[in-house]
Amino acid sequence: MSLALFLLVACPPASTKDDADSAPALPDSGTDTAADLDTGSPGTGTDDSGSSDSDPGDSQPQDDGDSGAPGDPDHDGDGYPASIDCDDDDAGVFPVTFMDGSSSPSDATAIFDGGSAGAPASVVLVDAGEYRFCDGLYYVTVSISAENVTLSSVNGAAVTTLSAEGHGSVTRLESAVVSLSLHDLTLSGGAAANGGAVDNTVGGTVSLTNTVVDGNTATSCGGGIVSYDGYLTLDNSDVINNSASSAGGGICCADCFLSVTASDISGNAVGNRGGGLYLGGFSSTMTVTGSTISNNTATAGGGAWHEMSSPRYQDSYITDNVGGGFTVYWSANTVVDCTGGSGGVLRNTENGASMDYAAWFSSVDCDWGTGADDNTPYDVNYGYSYGANATFSCGWVEGCS
């Protein structure tokens, strides 16, 4: 088809009908010329393709008078165009929505906005409630002094990230009464002395649900998360690719209560003890259930280092760590229980488990590896070596059998 013929077919006479908008079936009540000269007021005109329409690219057949840029409408009139408003049909949902439970949602966008990679926004939260984020990458450091604060997202961790981009911890608790819940978020880019993504050195309470702690660093303890004298709960969350200099590449927990369920602690590294996690202090307890600790690296305790604590692994895997599966040092009671039908300590470099001054250790129905799955050189290094034992208990070194 020649260009001339194509133009004849595609372009009706401009003076007789709507000329170029996205709803050509609509008659244009204005008088068109070859160009669009519709003079209707915004919201009342019928041709939206011309210079008189502020949103020629949106889905409205006519100028809708909204404040969105061309092609980026603000349908719900909340002041935010669809590109950053993850619910553009709900005027009560903003890029960052704050809900305190007692009134209608309010707009918290301004306090989280405006940060850049070089200068993250420094946010202090003094009001209890939930801050829910639309999709996006927010450059922030967040310190929390309100008692109960939830940071969450509308569409999940894969599309919603808070990053400190090397300028401190992503989140920091300011006192022991603070309880911080993290839901459906990714925390990354934190860099601090302790706790790159979550700094809880004050004895507060932290829980992570459907959350990813990825790519944070600490010069001392807890590349991803630190918890001193506090409570830390992970549910269906990942602590991955974090690093620390001295202890706990992923997690550092001292005098704390740690609960890990259906989570993944992988790919973390530390210069000294506890590649995945470090559990220390005189009163720490830990339960890891249905989770995986894998591919972490340390000089000792590649997967985990337990010191003066009581760790319990329930139906969990400790695999492929460099520097040993886990080390138990001066600890009262260690249990590795796989009676639920899964879990094991497999393919760790050096030992599956190493123990010094461990009072009691038991393994129930766990796979400690055979053949290609064996740990090297020992499944259990207890001063002596024990290999491929599925179920055994050791009370003090000489009682191990």
Residue numbers at the binding site for Ca ion (CB under 5 A): 74, 76, 78, 80, 85, 87-88, 93
Measured distance CA(79)–CA(93) in Å, rounded? 11
What is the side-by-side strand order in the sheet with 217-218?
191-192, 217-218, 243-244, 269-270
Q: 229 is written with which tokens?
A: 């004298």
* AA letter at 329: Y
Q: How far is the CB of 109 from Ca ion (least distance, A)?
A: 10
Residue nearest to Ca ion (CB): 85
Residue 109 neighbours by CB under 8 Å, 6+ apart: 80, 94, 95, 96
Between 74 and 238, whose beta carbon lies closer to Ca ion?
74
Cα 222 from Cα 274, distance rounded (Å): 9
CB nearer to Ca ion: pick between 59 and 283: 59
Q: Which is nearer to Ca ion, 58 or 307 (CB)?
A: 58
Shortest Å, Cβ 93 to Ca ion: 4
C-beta closer to Ca ion: residue 68 or 302: 68
Smallest distance, Å, CB 22 to Ca ion? Answer: 20
Whichever of 93 and 251 has its CB closer to Ca ion, that residue is 93
- Sequence letter at residue 65: G
Residue 119 CB coordination number (10 Å): 11
Measuring CA to CA, how many Å separate 255 from each of 166, 173, 263, 308, 330? 28, 17, 22, 9, 14
**Minimal distance in Å, beta carbon 86 to Ca ion?**
8
Q: Residue 198 Cβ, how far from Ca ion at the closest point, in Å?
A: 29
Q: How far is the CB of 76 from Ca ion (least distance, A)?
A: 4
Helix (H) or strand (E) holding 110: helix 109-112
Q: Which residue's CB is nearer to Ca ion, number 78 or number 238? A: 78
What 122-126 contacts at long range (C-beta under 8 Å, 24+ apart), as own/partner pairs, is: 125/149
Q: Which is nearer to Ca ion, 84 or 128 (CB)?
A: 84
Residue 153 has which token pair? 């997202």
Closer by beta carbon to Ca ion, 26 or else 99: 99
Using CA atoms, how far apart are residues 276 and 250, in angstroms rounded to an integer?
5
Residue nearer to Ca ion on the CB measure, 85 or 264: 85
Strand partners, 74: none
Cβ atoms of 48 and 63 within 8 Å: the answer is yes
Rounded to the nearest whole angstrom, what is the least distance from the CB of residue 75 to Ca ion in the complex? Answer: 6
Minimum distance from CB of 154 to Ca ion (Å)?
10
CA-CA distances (angstroms) from residue 209 to 15, 233, 285? 61, 8, 20
Cβ neighbors of 207 (< 8 A, separation 6 or more) are 179, 180, 181, 182, 232, 233, 234, 235
Minimum distance between the CB of residue 237 and Ca ion, rounded to whole angstroms? 28
For the chain, the farthest-separated pair of C-alpha atoms sits apart, in whole angstroms, at: 100
Min dist CB 157 to Ca ion, Å, is 21
Three-state secondary-structure class, residue 306: strand
Nearest to Ca ion of 31, 104 (CB atom)? 104
